[in-house]
């Protein structure tokens, strides 16, 4: 157990639907990162939150959004889902902003049918 | 901007022989470098990290990596492969420009008995 908890582990949904992925960071970590892993694109950075505030954005689609709550857990919302959104979504956390190292959760596998 | 290139998409070795997974990086700042491993249907586990201390870094499970600034490389090695080492390995760079970890495309390590 890495200390980063992602739920659900698996999600199957239909095109056009909306889903929410949840991440609880390791205790004491203030930064949360979201990544999408697909066969053709590899691991792509989506977005980072630090202590409740959005800090950096990567290749995140406009249909996707995220937030970090006061208890530091984070949610990634994916809407108007397309077949191409099927992927493994990882959350990682770190103590702060600098390069302390990143602890990853076990991921949420999203299948859009 | 930072980037990382993993020079081999697949590496095949026999059990008991040395392992070499190659990684080159590009960074405008002093980088931190990491190697992560992903076993099938599992999350990402940190093997080792370089954060400007000793250039030879020892990690878990007998792996080590050497930071070579002149060659912009951070190759991962292990003296003797074990069947349980078969997995996907990711080289990651994070520098002071953004502190966002950028992943290589991964190297699949195949270990033959």
Average pLDDT over every residue of B16-31: 94
Token readout for A35 is 């990544």
Which of B33, B35, B38, B43 should we substitute to test contact with A (largest number of A Cβ atoms within 10 Å)?
Answer: B43
> Is B32 part of the contact surface with chain A (CB cutoff 8 Å)?
yes
Q: Answer for the pair B85, B19: CB distance below 8 angstroms, yes or no.
A: yes
A80 φψ region: left (φ > 0), alpha (ψ -120 to 50), beta (else): left
pLDDT at A59 over 90: no
Looking at residue A99, its pLDDT comes to 64
A16 φψ region: left (φ > 0), alpha (ψ -120 to 50), beta (else): left
pLDDT at A6 over 70: yes
Average pLDDT over every residue of A97-110: 86
Q: Chain A residues with CB inside 8 Å of B99's CB?
A: 97-99
Residue A107, C-beta contacts closer than 8 angstroms, at least 6 positions apart: A6, A9, A37, A88, A89, A90, A91, B43
Looking at residue B33, its pLDDT comes to 93
DSSP string over B1-18? --EEEES-SEEEEETTS-
More reliable by pLDDT, A57 or A100: A57
Q: Which tens digits make up the pLDDT trace of B24-81? A: 999 888 889 999 999 987 889 999 999 877 899 999 999 999 999 999 999 999 999 9
């Amino acid at each position: 157990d890495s200390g980063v908890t992602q739920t659900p582990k698996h999600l199957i949904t239909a095109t056009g639907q909306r889903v929410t992925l949840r991440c609880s960071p390791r205790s004491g970590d203030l930064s949360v990162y979201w990544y999408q892993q697909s066969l053709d694109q590899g691991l792509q950075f989506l977005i980072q939150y630090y202590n409740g505030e959005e800090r950096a954005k990567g290749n995140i689609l406009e249909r996707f959004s995220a937030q970090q709550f006061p208890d530091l857990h984070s949610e990634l919302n994916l809407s108007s889902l397309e077949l191409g959104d099927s992927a493994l979504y990882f959350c990682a956390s770190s103590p702060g902003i600098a390069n302390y190292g990143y602890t990853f959760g076990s991921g949420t596998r999203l299948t859009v049918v | 901007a930072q980037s990382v290139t993993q020079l081999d998409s697949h590496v095949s070795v026999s059990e008991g022989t040395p392992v070499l997974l190659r990684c080159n990086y590009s960074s405008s700042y002093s980088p931190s470098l990491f190697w992560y491993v992903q076993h099938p249907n599992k999350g990402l586990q940190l093997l080792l990290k370089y954060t400007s201390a000793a250039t030879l870094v020892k990690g878990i499970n007998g792996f080590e990596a050497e930071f070579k600034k002149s060659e912009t490389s951070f190759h991962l090695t292990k003296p003797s492969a074990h069947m349980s080492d078969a997995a996907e390995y990711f080289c990651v760079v994070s520098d002071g420009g953004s502190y966002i970890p950028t992943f290589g495309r991964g190297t699949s390590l195949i270990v033959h008995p």
